[in-house]
Structure 1
């Protein structure tokens, strides 16, 4: 299913991908390829520098309307890496994109809980190597569908709670659905 082309809708969710986890690195902003490029370069360089025989953790990445769930895939080698099970709530994901240099890499920016603490960087870039360029694209489309559903839910809540005293759930997020070639062309015209 990950190789399918075309749009992904909320009805297609959840969608699961088996990916290699490149890791996480601080990002300098909320959204935009300019904030994922350097972290992805650093993580790819670190992965290429791994000692012989050491591999990146393989994780099951599932995109749902509630967010992105990561769970380690253990093939009987418990000493390769620790078990991981993490859910990034849709509210904490601000950006997702297929990388323009490493087109099999999908990255996303997470807004950490410590965003209110002075002196701490609230933005974290997580990156994953997909089985193919098309799988990275499909993963990007999946997150876009989750964002669309979240946006719809926020609008419904705002419409039904306008007189309510609860704080607004306004949220900014972005997904870059342009191909790596289109992103590269736009970056060249900005320079």
Structure 2
């Protein structure tokens, strides 16, 4: 992991637009965010409604908070299993969240996506989530109680693309 992550301070806030959420087929990996992000972006492009309003996405040691004038939604850090800056839509940050309420007819994971102000903002958001994962990992190790797994993808777009090609060729 990048050395600079250790020096990130939390909480960090980002001004983003909620792209939405869509069921993910797996717990972590860019292969499980690709289709949901493509569908959410396509839906946003064809939607007759206006863009979603700006919200604050706040990353803390305890999780991710989406704060708007009308509501506040929290994803506790133990429910976030993966986060990445999308390699196709580089202003998009997405994360896979394990649903706390399970339904037998639905997948247990959601991909939640946000459009950031810039590519760098999406990258910085990814680093902030990595910092939160590190803090949570330290807390879990010191308590010795949980076996929760999570992942943050800090590879470059070229590295992610190579990995996707490898998965496609193995299929």
Alignment of 1:145-184 (within 5 A): 145-158=131-144, 168-184=145-161
Q: Does structure 1 residue 112 correspond to structure 2 residue 109?
A: no
Identify the match of residue 63 of structure 1 among 43, 56, 59. 59
Q: Which structure 2 residue ranges, 5 or more long, are not aligned?
A: none
Which of these residues, 73, 90, 98, is aligned with residue 103 of structure 1? 90
1:186 to partner: Cα distance: 2.1
Between the aligned partners of 1:10 and 1:150, the Cα distance in structure 2 is: 15
Contact 1:59 1:70 in 2 (8 A): yes
- Match of residue 3 from structure 1: none
Relative to the length of structure 1, the TM-score reads 0.82
Q: In 2, distance between residues paired with 1:7 and 1:56?
A: 32
Aligned-residue Cα RMSD (Å) equals: 1.8
Please give the TM-score of this superposition, normalised by the length of structure 2. 0.91
Deviation at 1:55, TM superposition (A): 1.4
Check 1:10–1:151 CA distance in 2 against 1; reply closer, same or farther (3 A cut): farther
> How many corresponding residue pairs?
167
Q: Which runs of 5+ in 1 are unaligned?
A: 1-5, 75-82, 159-167
Q: Deviations over 1:31-68 (max 9, x none)?
A: 0001101000000001101226x112311001010000
1:52-103 CA deviation, whole Å, 9 max, x = no partner? 6x1123110010100001011x5xxxxxxxx221110001000000001001
Q: Hey, what's the Cα distance between the residues in 2 that align with 1:183 and 1:40?
A: 15
Indicate whether 1:123 and 2:119 are aligned. no
Runs of 4+ in 1 over 6 A off after TM superposition: none
Kindly tell me: are residues 132 and 11 of structure 1, through their superposed partners in 2, closer, same or farther at Cα, counting changes over 3 Å?
A: closer
